[in-house]
Amino acid sequence: MSTHSPSRIDIVCPTFNRSTAIRATIDSVLAQTVEEWTLLVVSDGSTDDTDDIVRAYRDPRIRLLRVESYGHPGGPRNAGVAAATAPFVAYLDHDDRWAPTHLAVLLRLLDGGAAFAATGCVRVDEAGEELDRSGLVDRIWHPELQTITGMFEPSRVGHVRTVLAELGGWTTIHAGYEDWDLWFRAARHGHDFAIATEHTALLTIGPASRRNGLRPPQAVVFDRVADREVAAAVVQATRSEPHRMAARASCLTEMCAWYADLATSPRYRVADHVPDHLEDQLRADFLRDDKPCLLEELSIAPVGDEWAILLPLWCATSEHAQAIGRVLRDRFPGQFAYLRALIADQSVEVRAARSTAT
C-alpha cells in the first residue's frame, strides 16, 4: 500500500471498553481487498485499555478519536463523520467484522451513484455460531418498507459522506434503533438504498445488546375503548386460536399485495433480481420464521378516560411513529377491520359476563 494514496472511504467505529476484543474488528478492516481507507475508531470515554490497544496498531490508516462519554453510539458516529474527509463513509460496530470484500462491494454501489448502500449479512451469536443470514426481504427496498422496518444494521451500510449533515446527523436520543431513525430520515429526504446480495458483514447478536434494557419509546394507537376489561380481552383474544390464525392469514395476504404494488413504484429498489414467485417466497419466509402479524403484538395503555389498544414501536420520534401509522392503515386495512370486529365481540362478551355475575 502506498502511504500517499488518499482514502476512498472512511470507516467510523464507535467503541466503549472493548479492550483486546476489538482486535478482530480492526483486523477485518486490515484484511480488506480495498486498501485506500481510513479507520476512525471513536472511543466513547473508554475507561479500560481500549485506547491503548488501538494506538498499538502502527498502520497510519488507523486513527483513534477520543470523545467524552455519550453512552450512545450516535454521538461518537457524528464525531467520526465530522473527522472524515473521504467521499464516502462506512460504519463498523466494535463487535462486528467484515469479509475481505466488504468495502469493495460497498464502493461498487457508491461509485455507481448510490447515496446509500448496504450489503448482505450473516448474524452470529457471541460464540460465533451462525444464527441466520439476510435473505429475500433484505434485498428489497422502498421508502415505505424503510419506514416500518429498521432494514439494515450500521455495519452493513455506507453512504456519501456529505449527506449526514443534510440529514441532521445521527440522533443522540437514548431510544435504541438510531440506525433506523437515520435511514428513515434519509428516505424522507429522497435518498434511496442500493443493495448488494453478498453477505460481507458478520454481525454479533448477543444478550448484552444495549436495547435489551430499553423500553419502546413510541406507539401507534390502533383503536380506543372506554373499558379496560374490554381492551384487555381484545388483546388476549388476538393471541388465541382461531383469532390468531385468521389475523395472520389476513396480514400475509395484505403483505403480499403491498409488495406487489411497491414493485410498480419508481423508488422500488432490489438487489440483482427477485424470484418470479415473490409471493410464494414471502409466504414461505413468514410461515417458516413464525413472524407475528400486527395484531399479535398489541398492548394496552390508559389515554385520558379511555384505554388505547396500541402497537409499541422502537422508533425514536413521534414523527416517525405517525409515518408508520399512516403506512399500516393504508396497507393493512384488514388488520384494523379485524380489530374492530374483535372489539365489538369482546364488548358483548364482557357485558354478558357482568350481567351473569350480578
Number of H helices, E strands in the chain: 12, 14
Instruction: Please give the Cα distance from 85 to 101 (Å, whole number).
Output: 22
> pLDDT tens, 55-67?
999 999 999 999 9
Instruction: Please give the Cα distance from 212 to 20 (Å, whole number).
Output: 24
Residues facing residue 40 across a β-bridge = 12, 63
Q: Does the model's pTM come out above 0.75?
A: yes
Instruction: Please give the Cα distance from 179 to 203 (Å, whole number).
Output: 14
pLDDT interval class at 285 (50, 70, 90): confident
> pLDDT tens, 69-88?
888 899 999 999 999 999 99
299-336 b/e (C-beta count within 10 Å ≥ 16 → b):
ebeeeeebbbbbbebbbbbeebbebbbebbeebbebbe
pLDDT interval class at 215 (50, 70, 90): confident
Q: Averaged over 270-282, what is the pLDDT?
A: 76
pLDDT at 211: 45
More confident residue, 49 or 289: 49
In contact, 228 and 300? CB cutoff 8 Å: yes
Range with the largest mean pLDDT of 81-85, 131-135, 208-212: 81-85
Widest distance between CA atoms in the chain: 87
- Contacts of residue 247, defined as CB under 8 A and 6 or more positions apart, other chains included, come to 238, 293, 294, 295, 296, 335, 338
Element (H, E) at 337: helix 333-357
Residue 244 CA to its chain's centroid (Å): 26
Does pLDDT of 1 surpass 50?
no
Instruction: Please give the Cα distance from 154 to 161 (Å, whole number).
Output: 14
pLDDT interval class at 2 (50, 70, 90): very low
C-alpha cell at 272: 440483482
pLDDT at 197: 92
pLDDT at 295: 95
pLDDT at 275: 61
pLDDT at 208: 54
Q: Averaged over 321-347, what is the pLDDT?
A: 97
**Percent share of the chain, pLDDT over 90:** 77
Instruction: Please give the Cα distance from 94 to 115 (Å, whole number).
Output: 24
Q: In degrees to the nearest 10, what's the CA dihedral of 180, 181, 186, 187?
A: 70
